[in-house]
Structure 1
Amino acid sequence: MTTITTLDELQALYGESHERSRRKELPRLIEPYRALIAASPFAVLASVGRDGLDCSPRGDAPGFVQILDDQTLLLPDRPGNNRIDSLRNIVENPQVALLFLIPGVGESLRVNGRAEISLDPALLELGRAQGKLPRSVLRIHIHSCYFQCAKSVLRSGLWDAARQVERASLPSAGEIFRCIDANFDVETYERDMQHRQRTSLY
């Protein structure tokens, strides 16, 4: 047999989890978890809807995900590509997960919960950045949260400057579009993209 098809088979392969890994999962934030969120400038938001799963990057200055209380987070929605995949999913299914990363830190923080899309003026004001309000905010009600050990970051060398990849060694966004459409104007797109990145982050 080369494929795991039952939970019993999976459990037999991996055995029981360590007690410490179970104890670190909590239904609310503790002070160390609050500190990790406050220091994080980047998170990945996972959601699920009728068309499947979505995993979307979110980033801003450290603390951009605000802690309203020990069981509630506030995530502002900054301008993007207007696909709104995550938001569509949340309308259909409020279950979400967040993975918080902190540059230079091996440990990460995982949060699972339920999200609602809010237009509450007071919450929008809390999400203001660079003088601009977000179009909406996610109010996330925490079901569980726990920190992840540093093994995956250490294996990947994620924060090792010596292992950083030169951007020019990979296809640019314009070149990727040209692979999709042979007539795509890469030069104009990439020139305009630089302007958009300077003027439309908020």
Structure 2
Amino acid sequence: METIDSIEHLEALYDDAVPGSLTKVRTFITPAYRKWIDSSRFVVLSSVGPAGTDASPRGDTESVAKVRDQNTLWIPDWRGNNRLDSLRNIVQDGRVSLMFMIPGNNNVVRVNGLAALTADPEVTTQFERKNVHPKTVIMINVVEVYFQCAKSLMRSQLWQSTDSNREAPTAGAFIKEVRAEFDAEQYDAGYAEYSKDRMW
């Protein structure tokens, strides 16, 4: 199978970029983009490091990121599985990309930037919830911010309720593929309540 091995080869297959897709890019967080980010409780954080790439979903009960100023975002690292894939990448290579989503809205706001981590209590305690605060906060220096047109989410009908999720494997099913003796049904039954209790 032939592969595309040059930018010239790739670009020859496509028309020129739609002008608006290039001019919409901003180098700072405008008031409209700030309003979107403040309204978003979910973001996908992508990072890169010596071991490879990583894309991590991040969610919160409030704004998933705090806009510090027009060039800076803070994202708390709440309790998870402690794999630290994204955080290891950020320590070694600060390049990150973010996709902010709002349920029911087919647009996506994208941010590219350079990230660093801090465990400074003056920062982490600003995110305290139920007497718990994140161990670290991801600080992102914004390089680019722009919106993604709605076509992909509309095409996928992401926010429309369908029966397809009934056929999707559960978390327990994924574990059972690794451990045949694992009780997937019992795990899935208690997973939602367990996660809710341990959110912070």
Question: Which residue does the alignment assign to 1:74?
Answer: 74
Question: Which residue does the alignment assign to 2:174?
Answer: 176
The alpha carbon displacement at 1:190 in A equals 3.6
The alpha carbon displacement at 1:62 in A equals 4.0
The alpha carbon displacement at 1:11 in A equals 1.4
Give the 3-state SS of the residue equivalent to 2:146 in structure 1.
strand
The alpha carbon displacement at 1:50 in A equals 1.1
Q: 1:155 to 1:128 in 2, by over 3 A?
A: same
The alpha carbon displacement at 1:68 in A equals 0.2
> Which residue type is aligned with residue 178 of structure 1?
K
Question: Which residue does the alignment assign to 1:165?
Answer: 164
The correspondence of residues 56-71 of structure 1 with structure 2, limited to 5 A, is 56-71=56-71
List 4+ stretches of structure 1 deviating above 6 A: none
The alpha carbon displacement at 1:133 in A equals 0.7
Give the 3-state SS of the residue equivalent to 1:14 in structure 2.
coil
Matched residues in 1 for 2:134 and 2:26: separation?
A: 30
Matched residues in 1 for 2:135 and 2:48: separation?
A: 21
The alpha carbon displacement at 1:191 in A equals 5.0
The alpha carbon displacement at 1:64 in A equals 2.5
Q: 1:5 to 1:73 in 2, by over 3 A?
A: same
Q: 1:62 to 1:17 in 2, by over 3 A?
A: farther
> Which residue type is aligned with residue 197 of structure 1?
S
- The answer as to whether partners of 2:45 and 2:96 remain within 8 angstroms in 1 is yes
Matched residues in 2 for 1:11 and 1:172: separation?
A: 40
Question: Which residue does the alignment assign to 1:135?
Answer: 135
Question: Which residue does the alignment assign to 1:17?
Answer: 17
> Which residue type is aligned with residue 40 of structure 2?
S
Question: Which residue does the alignment assign to 1:104?
Answer: 104
Q: 1:41 to 1:122 in 2, by over 3 A?
A: same
Matched residues in 1 for 2:163 and 2:42: separation?
A: 18
Q: Does 1:54 align with 2:24?
A: no
Q: 1:164 to 1:124 in 2, by over 3 A?
A: farther
1:43-89 Cα distance to aligned partner (Å, 9 max, x none): 00001111110000000124220000001000000111110100011
Q: 1:164 to 1:38 in 2, by over 3 A?
A: farther
Q: Percent identity?
A: 39
- The answer as to whether partners of 2:43 and 2:64 remain within 8 angstroms in 1 is no
> Which residue type is aligned with residue 20 of structure 1?
G
- The answer as to whether partners of 1:127 and 1:137 remain within 8 angstroms in 2 is no
Structure 2: unaligned runs, 5 residues or longer: none
The alpha carbon displacement at 1:187 in A equals 4.7
Aligned residues: 200
Matched residues in 2 for 1:160 and 1:189: separation?
A: 27
**Greater mean alpha carbon deviation, residues 16-25 or residues 51-60:** 16-25
Question: Which residue does the alignment assign to 1:33?
Answer: 33
CA RMSD of aligned residues (A): 1.8
> Which residue type is aligned with residue 133 of structure 1?
H
